[in-house]
Amino acid sequence: MDSIADSALAVRQQGKRMASDPLLKIFPALDEKLKGTPRFLLDEHAIHTAVELTLGRPKVLLEAMRHLVIPWPRLWIEWPESGRAKLRQEFGDQGYTGPDRPLPEKLGFLLECTTENRRQGMVMWAWTSPAHDLITGNWPNIAPISPYFDLDARLEQPADKIEGFLRGNLARMWRDNPIQLEALFDIWRTTQHGPNDWGFEYLRMLERQVGEEALPAHLANMWADVYGEWVIVPAILILLTSSRKVVDYHPVDRSKINKHRAKRKQALLYDHTEVTMYLGERHVASGQRCQPLSYKRKSPRVHMVSSFLNRRGDKFWVVQPFMRGSGDVIHRQINVKGARDTVNSLT
């Protein structure tokens, strides 16, 4: 958020010519939209829980999406990318290697609903990268490709995207379960990806620079940046709209610091709401949560269960991590002895 405000101010300070630039004008436009938009900043634990929901059963996530109503016509959500460490540990971080694709520091998206029922709309992605020889780090990256979603639709995806999706990490998790794999496809069938309004202008500029023959390769990379990210959007929205309280909201007022920044003619920072995981009295006191509904199992040992979606009728909620099983924790100790010195022992 703050990098968008800084970029918008830098464009405005350069005069009308810079502000009307077809590429740079996106920053003042985003700045104006963010001023009247609810803004949420997820901490590492909240985005970690959202990642666990995406790694759970796709059929449950899909059922929750069928009852999802976005509470706001427009909202901004942001998180530190370090909070998705579990995703990189689960699948490896080969997708982030390379000097031209460093691991983002922060990632966010602007969601805008286009219908009154708030089940259709589009998402614009933005992220900040650390300073690098090829990437300055001063300007946020705006994705020219956006998902246009309709949570009531079942839109067929391009054949090349399906082939690439089958080679992806999430599809490989469910390759032996056709029901879950089909549900995973249906999550993506609620979207159609394509250039946004600003993206069309960016692609025309890029075509003039690299040529018509080289453009498809660049376009494929742009799709790869955002196509697989769609699943985190409904997961976060379900986390924020859970039937049971699972997150805490902490408003952050920046009016005091903005007074000093205004005197120094710096960009004003956005007020926002920090989202953290909620720990109820029961969770803190017992340290253990109930087992899922209609799910009985004799656990061979005590182990931790990750967050997952639970449901009863048309109500969905997030079950936070809990310990399953019974018994005492056994502490194992290993005594290490040094190697025997045979020469000195014989003498």
Mean pLDDT estimate for the chain: 78
Summarize the confidence of residues 7-18 as an average pLDDT: 72
- pLDDT score for 169: 77
DSSP state of 287: S
- pLDDT score for 119: 93
> What's the pLDDT tens digit per position in 169-193?
788 888 888 899 999 999 999 999 9
> What's the pLDDT tens digit per position in 95-132?
444 555 667 788 999 999 999 999 999 999 998 876 54
Owner of token pair 């014989």: 346
DSSP state of 249: E
If one compares 196 and 25, the residue with the highest pLDDT of the two is 196
CA atoms within 13 A on the CB side of 325: 11
pTM: 0.78
- Answer yes or no: is pLDDT of 307 > 60: yes
Phi/psi for 12 (5° steps) reads -65, -35
Considering just the CA atoms, what is the radius of gyration of the chain in Å? Answer: 24
The gap between the terminal CA atoms of the chain, to the nearest Å, is: 74
- Answer yes or no: is pLDDT of 134 > 50: no
If one compares 287 and 10, the residue with the highest pLDDT of the two is 10
What is the torsional sign of CA 228, 234, 236, 238? negative
Phi/psi for 216 (5° steps) reads -55, -35
Of 5-9, 99-103, 127-131, 147-151, the least confident:
99-103
